[in-house]
Structure 1
Amino acid sequence: MTSGRRIARVLIDSPLPQLDRLFDYALPPQLGNVECGVRIKAPLRTAGRVIDGYIVEIDEEHDAARALSEIESVVSPVVVLPDRLYRLARRAADRAAGSASDILRLAIPKRQVRVEKSWHPIEDAPLPDADAHERATEVIAAYDGLDEVLAEHARAAVEAIPVQEGAIAGWALLLAATATTKLAGGHSSILVVPDYRDQEMLVAALNTMLPAEAVVRHDARQTNPDRYRAFLRTLGDAPCVVIGNRSAVYSPVQAGLVAIWDDGDPLLAEPLAPYVHARDAALIRQEQEESTLLLVGHTRSSDAERLVQHGWMRDVTAVRRITPRVLLSTPQELEQTAQRVPSSAFSAARAATAEGPVLVQVARPGFSPTLVCATCRTPARCAHCGGPLGARRRGAVPVCGWCGRAANSWRCAECSSDKVRLASSGTERTADELGRAFPGVRVIVSDGAHPVTQVDTKPALVIATRGAEPIAEEGYRAVILLDGARMLQAPDLRIGESCLRWWANAAALAAPGAPIHLVGVNGPVARALATWSAAGYARSELEDRLPLHMPPTTRVAQIDGLPASVRAALDALAEIGIRGEAVLGPLPHGDDGRVRALVRFGYAAGQTVASTLRAVVVADAAQSRRGRGRVRATLAVHLDILEPEI
């Protein structure tokens, strides 16, 4: 009896959608014992070149007559694609009508030969000591039912307690405590946060409970060697705690816990194809690995609330609820006094600066981000490119925000006036105004251009943009939330959720009992902040969106491409029953003849819609590749868009 030949099923690392499948290759004997998950190089006959890939499966076949190309070489013996990571990437890509290789490109860093040769797997992981485990248990006990969620490997949306210990936020201590508990049981954890500021906060919290050797950072700011070194650490069997941004959710550890902080932050939405949100990837991972999944925040995204309403996630709140003291001032109060800061908020800030720092949140950075005509209020635009004009400091010549040209002789296109006025105040102008009103008090500006992560307990006015608020060592003595009405005017489906999240995160930085003044805002969002009822607001958002078939009550796919390609996609969807009012468009999009359409469909039809659209994308790419002397068509599909736009 003759033995069969060994074959390998290979995933090609290519952006072409028609190559998003496993290819059979023969394994020549000279390669020796090859494992699944290693990097290889193999010939691709259709392209006439050698291409990178990963061995996903190794099998044996007895059909020696079948012509197969041989794998050319094994790049490295290190198994960088464990089976659990491939299954996660494959399923996430299928759900989003995308390619698995695009997701693996986010998960697996480029090979660093020197790092790989000097790497040795860690056999014994450093575990938390008894004091750390006891401290973690105390933090978890402050939340009703959270210990059961961790023990039962369940899913939960957790409302974080808005407190801090020293310079460490309460939410960071909560995530650190859950990871410590899992590590004590021999399980790895993945903690996903939106940006580097949250990472630094989380590292500080983990350092109070775990040895540094147990924490692995997944950071876009790392050098390539450091990132690859961290990746190799996660391939071992020794448990660890992985922290990082959105792509950290694909870490190859065998996770016992995946926790996401502030899942409503748009930074957790992947901007690269196939555009899988970190929350969706975490949900898929939890189902595959039966790990614990926590969505933690001071507020509740409508996506998380939908899962809670359907019984897919548990609702976890504090045993003893702590709510900040929020005070509202209506737009009518500002109109009566013609002031940006009402007298009540001004008095609170005056009294608070005698004791410690005061936080003032504004909408935008700079001195004055935008200018308008002083006569007719028409936005001031650059005569060269049409960009918005702004002033970097008081009395300065207006400068275009797009091309950077100075508008020395600007005149309004509507009324020919040469006078401009400030349309809004940024961080620097607010600091200038409040600095004169509070003589002798330090003024600190924190925004994208002037990042500040922490302030001390001395009196100060901290002027910060949303999301850039530094943490005060013992909390702010008062918090003033300005420009709320301007924030709510943004043409965004989720602007109410976003504002509530921005304001709640700022309010959570206040010291216990400190006043939080929300200026010039009323309505449901203001009431939700004042009563600290974000879950109720998220439920009302879902109720409002349901009759309109808007996300997240309904899934929405965005289809971009040339008219013929988009029409082919819509025809394919019509064959499976997605037609009529479910389709919006197509309408022209851009100046290159492309069009865009939106397609709304239920969650139950998600798999069918995704596979149908994927088949159209593959067919369109293959047809375009065969075409000679024509513009290459690029049909793009984006499922689960956060903000529908035609």
Structure 2
Amino acid sequence: MPTDGPSAPPGEHRVASVLIDSPLPQLDHLFDYRIPDALVGQVVPGVRVKVPLRVARRIADALVVTTSATSEVPGELTPIEELVSPIPVLTPEVFALARAAADRAAGNASDILRLAVPRRHVRVEKAWLEREILPEQPLPAAPDVTGFSDDALGAGRHALAAPPGVVEVDGTWIGEWAVTLARLAVAQLAQGRSAILAVADYRDQDQLTLALASLVEPHWVVRVDARQTAPARYRSFLETLEPAPRIVIGARSVVYAPAHRLGLIAFWNDGDGLFAEQLAPYVHARDAALIRQEQSGCALVFAAHSPSSAVERLVGLGWLTMAEPVRKRTPRVVLTPEDPTSPRIPHAAWRAASEALAAGPVLIQVARPGSAALEARGRGEPMAADAGQTAHDLARAFPRVRVILADGEHPVERIGSEPALVIATRGAEPIAAGGYRAVLLLDGPRMLSRESARVAEDCLRWWSAAASLAAPGAAVHLVGIDGDLGLAMATWRQNDFMAREVAERKHLRFPPAVRIASVTGTSRLVSDAVSAAEAAGAQVLSTEPVDGPGSGSVRTVLRFDYGHGAAVAGALRTAIVTTATGRRRPAKDERGFRPPPTLRVRMDDVDAL
């Protein structure tokens, strides 16, 4: 076995296997470098280094994955250029997760590690190294997870039917789901294990933070928030590296947090589109969590009022166990047909809102944000009603009642218990103290008209989220929706509807019953990649031009069974590397060589349908 140069004492590690930080697919593997004498003992697995990249004749950033005494690479190894930081920021568990997730998605592990390991901030790092090490704190007591039987949420994998409603915690009203997840996390903390809680946006993070603050001291909780400054985010990341249990809260990238002795990963509303990663290789946070659970053996919980189709599929397979409250408390949903004489708000719903305003706030959910419709009406132009126009019309109808507009441009997190009309778009509904005295869900048919394979699933989630904010016994009027969707809301059996939906998709061989992938590039490159994928078990669903006819680029959508996933991903990955390493064609002008053609692959791209 070749060595890396001068003989080293037995057992002394002189070779570092590193992963170079590069989007180039041909560099997505480990490279061996020699550890210089001055850095022996300092270059350890997980640290950041700089290494020479001979092909590009430059110095590249890299992460050390392993070290060893010898190398299988023949000849003399190139020495590491520089040790950037002595802090091991990459744990073996996170690298294994990144590697497995990248392979499943036919992507680069370094792209995922860029999400998992934040950019370095020297001042933050220096302060963290010089921090005072506090004595070990006694673990908190394990709270009871009220509302569920003792064995319903034990160790294992669960789909949790979250209880609807709002509760008061230390003077602030939050969703009851947040209390349930917080108690599950603290129960793990009491056993000396960490918990990762993944939520879609900052509003949910705020609720979880308040729920946890009522159960444990702040030092047990680490928040990884997109609203944090880059230094604050890096400081939070360094806290998760400490060899102590923590509860880590964050958005989709929190699933890669290097939590110590991980005991639980819990999701709230995994069907929310914000959990879909927008950067290559586009690994959904739920898929990363499923991989991590299999690798670590931790508990896994997907909580929601209305389950996603992906979770319902796993329940049907027996891979997830359904956990429901012992006493099921459901909102009082009233299916209200549309009224031709009152097209915007049917008389029955209007009467319910008028009566409820005497007792407290009323929520009206609409489809469109903004005030474009109101401005268009002022110009005499027709346009479907939006939140702004609805708020304007209701303010005229109820001149003595406060009207609150809540949407992306006008965020409102909480309101009091005083009478008010709250017009909110889906996902922007504020929490009312004590719950809303009535909820009106408008624009249902318009929401269902959106072109998406997941439209029914999304609408159930949006309507359920708004209905769960109602006070006990308050009426929730779902306007213009009947059939199976209406029945699912009226009986609060969204999981039954989703089970039928998954069964229909299985019959049609649509996701999540099968996996899909989109392949985009020039006709020749796509053809070659698709042929390799077909040989691995994929089937072509469609091929269409990209950027219009005559552009020379096409996109092909493939379908394949889960059992063929690894082979199809491997075939497409090989096609990507082959394309990236192919010779550049001479350009037709003085610019020399034109860039090599690219091949873009996106696995599990449900929007491709």
TM range (shorter): over 0.9
Change (3 A) 1:420 1:311: same
Q: 367, 372, 387: which is aligned to 1:427?
A: 387
TM-score by length of 2: 0.93
Contact 1:561–1:594, Cα closer than 8 Å, also in 2 = yes
What CA distance in whole angstroms lies between the structure 2 residues aligned with 1:625 and 1:202? Answer: 52
Contact 2:32–2:77, Cα closer than 8 Å, also in 1 = yes
Contact 1:123–1:238, Cα closer than 8 Å, also in 2 = no
What is the aligned partner in structure 1 of residue 589 from structure 2? Answer: none
Note the 1:213-232 alignment, pairs <5 A. 213-232=219-238
What CA distance in whole angstroms lies between the structure 1 residues aligned with 2:525 and 2:293? Answer: 36
1:83 aligns with 2:92: yes
Contact 2:164–2:469, Cα closer than 8 Å, also in 1 = yes
Contact 1:366–1:392, Cα closer than 8 Å, also in 2 = no
Contact 2:376–2:382, Cα closer than 8 Å, also in 1 = no
AA aligned to 1:494 is: R
Note the 1:338-349 alignment, pairs <5 A. 338-349=342-353
1:49 is displaced (CA, Å) by: 0.2
Contact 2:139–2:192, Cα closer than 8 Å, also in 1 = no
Per the alignment, in what secondary structure is the counterpart of residue 288 of structure 1? helix
What CA distance in whole angstroms lies between the structure 2 residues aligned with 1:575 and 1:180? Answer: 49
What CA distance in whole angstroms lies between the structure 2 residues aligned with 1:262 and 1:63? Answer: 47
What is the aligned partner in structure 2 of residue 520 from structure 1? Answer: 480
Contact 1:149–1:292, Cα closer than 8 Å, also in 2 = no
Q: 360, 364, 370: which is aligned to 2:368?
A: 364
What CA distance in whole angstroms lies between the structure 2 residues aligned with 1:314 and 1:489? Answer: 33
1:41 aligns with 2:47: no
**Can you give the 5+ residue segments of structure 1 that lack an aligned partner in the other structure?**
370-390, 397-418
Contact 2:585–2:596, Cα closer than 8 Å, also in 1 = no
What is the aligned partner in structure 1 of residue 3 from structure 2? Answer: none
AA aligned to 2:188 is: K
AA aligned to 1:535 is: N
1:630 aligns with 2:594: yes
What is the aligned partner in structure 1 of residue 498 from structure 2? Answer: 538
Q: 211, 214, 219: which is aligned to 2:217?
A: 211
AA aligned to 1:365 is: P
What CA distance in whole angstroms lies between the structure 2 residues aligned with 1:62 and 1:99? Answer: 24
What is the aligned partner in structure 1 of residue 265 from structure 2? Answer: 258
1:338 is displaced (CA, Å) by: 3.9
What CA distance in whole angstroms lies between the structure 1 residues aligned with 2:363 and 2:445? Answer: 18
What is the aligned partner in structure 2 of residue 392 from structure 1? Answer: 375
Change (3 A) 1:64 1:509: closer
Q: Deviations over 1:172-231 (max 9, x none)?
A: 001100011111111111000001111111111111111111111111111111011000
AA aligned to 2:49 is: I
1:330 is displaced (CA, Å) by: 2.2
What CA distance in whole angstroms lies between the structure 1 residues aligned with 2:475 and 2:134? Answer: 51
1:65 is displaced (CA, Å) by: 6.2
What is the aligned partner in structure 2 of residue 9 from structure 1? Answer: 17
What CA distance in whole angstroms lies between the structure 2 residues aligned with 1:2 and 1:268? Answer: 50
Per the alignment, in what secondary structure is the counterpart of residue 47 of structure 1? coil
What CA distance in whole angstroms lies between the structure 1 residues aligned with 2:552 and 2:132? Answer: 54
Note the 1:437-448 alignment, pairs <5 A. 437-448=397-408
Contact 1:358–1:461, Cα closer than 8 Å, also in 2 = yes
Counting aligned pairs with the same residue, the percent is 48
1:589 aligns with 2:532: no
Contact 1:122–1:236, Cα closer than 8 Å, also in 2 = no
Contact 1:124–1:238, Cα closer than 8 Å, also in 2 = no
Q: 558, 564, 575: which is aligned to 1:616?
A: 575
Per the alignment, in what secondary structure is the counterpart of residue 605 of structure 2? coil
TM-score by length of 1: 0.88
AA aligned to 2:160 is: V
AA aligned to 1:420 is: E
What CA distance in whole angstroms lies between the structure 2 residues aligned with 1:159 and 1:148? Answer: 11
1:62 is displaced (CA, Å) by: 7.2
Contact 1:42–1:50, Cα closer than 8 Å, also in 2 = yes
Change (3 A) 1:366 1:476: same
What CA distance in whole angstroms lies between the structure 1 residues aligned with 2:371 and 2:71? Answer: 74
What CA distance in whole angstroms lies between the structure 2 residues aligned with 1:532 and 1:63? Answer: 60
What is the aligned partner in structure 2 of residue 403 from structure 1? Answer: none
Note the 1:134-533 alignment, pairs <5 A. 136-137=143-144, 140-144=145-149, 147=151, 149-150=153-154, 152=155, 154-166=156-168, 167-254=173-260, 255-331=262-338, 334-335=339-340, 337-369=341-373, 392=375, 394-396=377-379, 420-422=381-383, 424-533=384-493
Contact 2:8–2:14, Cα closer than 8 Å, also in 1 = no
1:121 is displaced (CA, Å) by: 7.7
Change (3 A) 1:175 1:64: closer
AA aligned to 2:241 is: L
Q: Deviations over 1:41-82 (max 9, x none)?
A: 000000000000011011122779613211001100000001
1:368 is displaced (CA, Å) by: 3.8
Count residues in correspondence: 586
Q: Deviations over 1:395-446 (max 9, x none)?
A: 14xxxxxxxxxxxxxxxxxxxxxx6322x11111101111111120000000
Contact 2:585–2:593, Cα closer than 8 Å, also in 1 = no
Contact 2:584–2:593, Cα closer than 8 Å, also in 1 = no
What CA distance in whole angstroms lies between the structure 1 residues aligned with 2:289 and 2:467? Answer: 28
Change (3 A) 1:278 1:62: closer
What CA distance in whole angstroms lies between the structure 2 residues aligned with 1:433 and 1:566? Answer: 53
Per the alignment, in what secondary structure is the counterpart of residue 168 of structure 1? strand
Change (3 A) 1:82 1:123: farther
Change (3 A) 1:528 1:64: closer
1:599 aligns with 2:558: yes
What is the aligned partner in structure 2 of residue 412 from structure 1? Answer: none
Per the alignment, in what secondary structure is the counterpart of residue 88 of structure 2? coil
Change (3 A) 1:64 1:359: closer
What CA distance in whole angstroms lies between the structure 2 residues aligned with 1:350 and 1:586? Answer: 53
Contact 1:128–1:209, Cα closer than 8 Å, also in 2 = no
Question: Is the deviation greater in 3-12 or in 447-456?
Answer: 3-12
AA aligned to 1:224 is: A
AA aligned to 1:276 is: V
Contact 2:153–2:323, Cα closer than 8 Å, also in 1 = no
Contact 1:361–1:481, Cα closer than 8 Å, also in 2 = yes
1:21 aligns with 2:7: no
Q: Deviations over 1:88-138 (max 9, x none)?
A: 1101111111110000101111111111111138565655644xx3xx30x
1:577 is displaced (CA, Å) by: 3.7
Contact 1:305–1:538, Cα closer than 8 Å, also in 2 = yes
Contact 2:335–2:479, Cα closer than 8 Å, also in 1 = yes
- What CA RMSD, in Å, does the superposition of the two structures yield over aligned residues? 1.8
1:149 is displaced (CA, Å) by: 3.6
Question: Is the deviation greater in 339-348 or in 451-460?
Answer: 339-348
After TM superposition, where is structure 1 displaced by more than 3 Å over at least 4 residues in a row? Answer: 1-5, 62-65, 120-130, 147-150, 624-628
Change (3 A) 1:63 1:451: closer
AA aligned to 2:334 is: L
